[in-house]
Structure 1
Amino acid sequence: MADSRLIQGRYRLLDLIGRGGMGEVWRARDESLGRQVAVKCLKPPAPQQDRSFTRIMRERFRREARVAAALQHRGVTVVHDFGEYDGVLYLVMELLEGRNLSQLLEDRARDTADDRDPDGTGPRTADTAEGRRQRPLSVPEVVDIAEQVTDALAYTHEQGIVHRDLKPANIMRLTDGTVKICDFGIARLGHDIGFTARLTGTGIAMGTPHYMSPEQISGGQIDHRSDLYSLGCVLYEIATGRPPFDLPDTWSVLVGHRDTDPEPPSEHRAGLPASFDRIVLGLLAKTPEERPADAADLRRRMAEARRVAGPAGRRALPAPHERPALTAGAAPYLPGGGPEPAAPPLPAWTRSMTTGHKAVGLSELRATPPDHTAGLTGEWTRPADPRATIAAPAGTARPAPQPEHLAALTTRHNAGLSLGRLGRWEEAGEVHRAVAAERAHTLGPDHPDTLGSRYEVGFTLSRTGRTADALREFSAVAEGRARTLGADHPDTLAARQETAYALGQLGRHFEAHEVFAAVLAARERTMGPDHPDTLRCRHNLAYNLSRLGRLADAHRLAHEVAVARARVLGPDHPDTLVSQYEVAYALGQLGRWPEALSVYREVAAGRAQALGPDHPDTLAARYEVGISLGRLDRSAEALELYRGLVEDRARAHGPLHPETLRARHGLGVNLGRLARWEEALTEAREVCAARERVLGPGHPDTLVSRREIAVGLGWLGRWTEALTVYREVADARARVLGPTHPEALASRDDEAHCLEQLGRSAEAAALYRQVAALRRGPGRGH
């Protein structure tokens, strides 16, 4: 886009002041009104860019324009115009002079001009990287920002708008001290929930981990009190120099928001008013009901805190006249005078996720004030710097890729991960395949990022039932990582482990066993026997042993892994409970149903506590409790359990979800065991019809339900009808699974038994002989 470019014959682009993976921000002149403005432009898609991702970004861009243009408040960035010109979406905003709060914290971290803290009362920390990282704003500045943001939120919430991504990068402080909220790109209009769900359902921008409310993380109902929680995170950080849960891994941050009470801000910065602790911790309450009712209520609490404390010095909230103007030379502060202790190691289940951007930290690219990009876009843009380069991979003549292109690929890769977390595996696969192709072209086929994308392609293939294709992809990634990273690198071993899992899914359990055993040996050698990744591999090996029929070995190994995981990760950790689940499965296969029932119940209770009562894993454990009760002839208890499970599954996942239908199937089976065959037959027919509609007529679950219809008909003495259904099931299983598959042969046995009941003994005997011959196989003696 040339500097002389006119948009709609009105907005003349002058200087590029920010660039991101998806677009640019320009300083421009409004030729009609003779004023300078900021113009945010969404770049047109490249020919190779996947259409679904582009469509989502354009919808989000339009939504930002629509929401922001409806707001008129001194605390919200003003949007003047919006449109599309030559295929480019553009948004015209007021041109702001100032810095966002993230940049203000960075400014303080860089400042070495003063030897006193922000309040002028103590020595500055030694100029180390860790010291630079944690230098907050002064208390009067924090209070001023809190009050202005609260006023702006009160206005936006009255308009029925929830921001949903409030963070330091989206709050700007102008040179005159005015504070403005920016970037309403994922805001929700109260009357437009459906549109927003489609827009944010991709997970491209659900919020930023360090500032997300527990209900955002859990996928619960979100209202204005979610913004208040995010404001609490922002205030905590600008007052202490660190977010409330300052951990290096996204999942651990999210679990912190959901499950852990934050430490009071004053524990990280001596001298903060006690009233500030109370207000911030109130905002950070886990449930919306425990937080202030609304922004107006929060404003009243702030005023009350000042009134009660009075002008008593450092323990009171400063009065408005104490607010300092925004200055460039405010001195930094680090509580405690030394580096913070190292965080304890995190388990493997929190790995391979990124934290997103938090406010603190030094940026390689920094524009000098005034920075007009501040607050316009959050992560969407970064200051343009033509000096930034990335070296080409060693040993190749490949030209250095552009940082903007690499950033765009990273954004798309993360979007694919988000689609996967939402269960949208087909779409995720399309995104990862496109990114993998571009990374191979830009970085080379064996570059770790290229292989990382191909790994995710394999994962999406496995989740969409294309296991053979997934195996080929994982095998190629394992070979590439072995060449690039080494045979014992954790990423190489992870890819090899996925190949073993795919082999098991394909029924190639002996081959899977060999790969699992080799990977386990490498993990024990390089990581130690109790490393979470080692334990995961041992768990997979136990699972595979059970599929090989080595049930005693599977039980022993699963029990050992469960004990080790309880010691390393804790007894209620999801990985520990998965191993306990495998212990219960092995016990059931060994016929030790009382013990299996006890362990399944422990797993169900542990998962309800750790994951929530409606989590799919919790409900799966409850299903297995029902299976165990049925095996112990405690069908009345099993029936009541399945009734509750059907209700919970239908509420959580819908009445036609495959797992809801599985629970209904269990209910019908236990009705039959209680000799309530008319009810059992009705349930079997309804479940079969639903499964045929949802899963297809040849799906194994549909055929199981169809067989259950035949069982009910037989018990009701309707053997002629039962024979017809048994034959349908046998023919379908032979067609789908093959005539010698154990389930197809079992169905032929059912058919022969039905013939016997009808007095057709000769036909039954002939069919039994045919089944016996098929079981023996060709070339075997009679």
Structure 2
Amino acid sequence: MSNAKAKLANIVQKGNDIFLRVDEEWFTYNLMEPPLGEGAMGTVYLGRSCRTNERVAIKRVIDKFANVPSIRERARLEASLLFRHQNLVEMIGYCELNPYNGPIFIISRLVQGMTLDQHVEMHLRSRTDAVRKICESIYPVFDALEYIHSKGIIHMDIKPSNIMIENGCNIRLMDLGIAYAADAVNLTSPGLLGTPKYAAPEQYIEPGQSRLLVDKTTDIYELGVTLYELLTGYNPFDSPTREETLQKQRTEVLPYVEGIPDAVVDVLRKATAKVQMERYQSAKDFKVALEQALLHPCRKSNEWLLPISIGLIIGIILVIVLILFV
């Protein structure tokens, strides 16, 4: 069989069943079954291994992204087994119709559990120490981001529904298979890569712009919005239209909320600064700042001004006394 024919044999359709070959193993899913979920970059289906019958997640990347050469190359890398971390979804492999265009399928282990926002509403929201517990529940995401950032990978679609809690304890960051390297992505049309109400301003591609100006602080921004939503129960950037949402992302800051310590909101405000250089420059720095804010929840970012102000007042009083009585 020729090389071209061998490539075509990687994807086979029989009725409503799609069969995908990764190395020498076949996986399948049914087009008539409702997807597990849909996101900004693709649709995830419940599939299974034809050899072991193990259930898997099969993601078909939206074709307009799948046909961008640099994105295809990035998907091949992320779907490889090079990325192993307890807080990331384990990848099985990558399947394509041919190396240059057409469908991309990314197969990963199926995570059994619930999304982190569901877990928060069911188990954490009503606790007296809810703020601390919610923050602690997201600490593993910082570790996962530090890991992928060390490999030059940017996730670009962090949101509550992309964070799963497995078996009631282990946190896994989902959708690594559509992440990107900042030095590899060239785009052919304007638009948004990511989910509007979590996306950083730089994730929008302006007309005429050929390169995505994202870096690891883009993920820090998205995680800041995500954590704010988990803590407060709402997303302040959410609007009826995408245009309104993107405008808020460009101009508005996270508001203070009763019940959430100002020190914690201050950390999230820095994480979601509109200018990338003003954000935390690593996931580790973000995590350390959050831990410190939880240790001193009543401390305001300008609290250091208080002792200076008191000293000035005392000094002025002493000067007045000296003038009057000396």
Place the TM-score, normalised by the shorter chain, in its bin: 0.5 to 0.7
Report deviation, 1:74: 1.4
The residue type equivalent to 2:271 in the other structure is L
Partner residue, 2:186: 197
Flag the 1:235–1:173 CA change in 2: closer, same or farther, 3 A: same
- Listed as ranges, the matches of 1:72-91 within 5 Å are 72-84=84-96, 89-91=104-106
Partner residue, 2:281: 293
Partner residue, 2:45: 25
**Contact 1:83/1:89, CA 8 A, preserved across alignment:** yes
Partner residue, 2:140: 148
Report deviation, 1:233: 0.7
Structure 1 stretches lacking a partner, 5+ long = 46-51, 122-136, 310-314, 317-782
CA distance in 2, matches of 1:303, 1:40: 36
1:43-96: per-residue Cα shift (whole Å, max 9, x none)?
A: 9x9xxxxxx848638975664342243322112111112224798643221111
- Counterpart of 1:244 (choices 221, 226, 236) is 236
- Listed as ranges, the matches of 1:120-199 within 5 Å are 120=127, 138-184=130-176, 186-190=178-182, 192-193=183-184, 196-198=185-187
The residue type equivalent to 1:231 in the other structure is L
**Contact 2:89/2:176, CA 8 A, preserved across alignment:** no
Partner residue, 2:321: none
Flag the 1:299–1:185 CA change in 2: closer, same or farther, 3 A: same
Partner residue, 1:729: none
Partner residue, 1:757: none
**Contact 1:4/1:13, CA 8 A, preserved across alignment:** yes
Q: Secondary structure at the match of 2:186?
A: helix
The residue type equivalent to 1:64 in the other structure is A
CA distance in 2, matches of 1:213, 1:173: 25
Flag the 1:155–1:4 CA change in 2: closer, same or farther, 3 A: same
CA distance in 2, matches of 1:58, 1:162: 17
Report deviation, 1:235: 0.7
Partner residue, 1:370: none
1:118 matched to 2:125:
yes
TM-score between both structures, scaled by the size of structure 2: 0.68
CA distance in 2, matches of 1:18, 1:156: 27
Partner residue, 1:377: none
Structure 2 stretches lacking a partner, 5+ long = 1-13, 207-211, 300-326
CA distance in 2, matches of 1:297, 1:54: 32
CA distance in 2, matches of 1:251, 1:3: 37
CA distance in 2, matches of 1:239, 1:78: 28
- Counterpart of 2:77 (choices 66, 91, 112) is 66
1:56 matched to 2:56:
no
1:98 matched to 2:90:
no
Report deviation, 1:145: 3.1
Report deviation, 1:147: 0.9
Q: Which has the higher contact order (CA 8 A, sep 6+)?
A: 2
- Listed as ranges, the matches of 1:436-447 within 5 Å are none
Count of aligned pairs between the two proteins: 270
**Contact 2:164/2:173, CA 8 A, preserved across alignment:** yes
Report deviation, 1:218: 7.3
Partner residue, 2:222: 230
Report deviation, 1:232: 0.8
Q: Secondary structure at the match of 2:239?
A: coil
Partner residue, 1:207: 194
CA distance in 1, matches of 2:205, 2:104: 33
Q: Secondary structure at the match of 2:194?
A: coil
Partner residue, 1:725: none
Partner residue, 1:460: none
The residue type equivalent to 1:171 in the other structure is I
Partner residue, 2:323: none
Partner residue, 1:766: none
Q: Secondary structure at the match of 2:145?
A: helix
**Contact 1:226/1:288, CA 8 A, preserved across alignment:** yes
Partner residue, 1:40: 58
The residue type equivalent to 2:35 in the other structure is G
**Contact 1:217/1:258, CA 8 A, preserved across alignment:** no
Identify, as 1 or 2, the structure richer in strand.
Answer: 2
Report deviation, 1:214: 2.5
The residue type equivalent to 2:56 in the other structure is A
Flag the 1:65–1:181 CA change in 2: closer, same or farther, 3 A: farther
CA distance in 1, matches of 2:296, 2:166: 31
Report deviation, 1:139: 2.6
**Contact 2:29/2:45, CA 8 A, preserved across alignment:** no
- Listed as ranges, the matches of 1:523-562 within 5 Å are none
Identity %: 24
Q: Secondary structure at the match of 1:271?
A: coil
Partner residue, 2:306: none
CA distance in 2, matches of 1:305, 1:260: 22
**Contact 2:190/2:205, CA 8 A, preserved across alignment:** no
**Contact 2:94/2:107, CA 8 A, preserved across alignment:** yes
Q: Secondary structure at the match of 1:25?
A: strand
**Contact 1:148/1:179, CA 8 A, preserved across alignment:** yes
Report deviation, 1:295: 0.8
**Contact 1:75/1:148, CA 8 A, preserved across alignment:** yes
1:1-45: per-residue Cα shift (whole Å, max 9, x none)?
A: 5698764463354775626787651231362xx4724141549x9
Larger Rg: 1
Q: Secondary structure at the match of 1:222?
A: coil
The residue type equivalent to 1:214 in the other structure is P
1:657-680: per-residue Cα shift (whole Å, max 9, x none)?
A: xxxxxxxxxxxxxxxxxxxxxxxx
The residue type equivalent to 2:164 in the other structure is M
**Contact 2:79/2:106, CA 8 A, preserved across alignment:** no
Report deviation, 1:229: 0.8
Report deviation, 1:252: 2.2
1:353-407: per-residue Cα shift (whole Å, max 9, x none)?
A: xxxxxxxxxxxxxxxxxxxxxxxxxxxxxxxxxxxxxxxxxxxxxxxxxxxxxxx
1:332-370: per-residue Cα shift (whole Å, max 9, x none)?
A: xxxxxxxxxxxxxxxxxxxxxxxxxxxxxxxxxxxxxxx
Report deviation, 1:236: 0.9
Identify, as 1 or 2, the structure richer in helix.
Answer: 1
**Contact 1:119/1:139, CA 8 A, preserved across alignment:** no
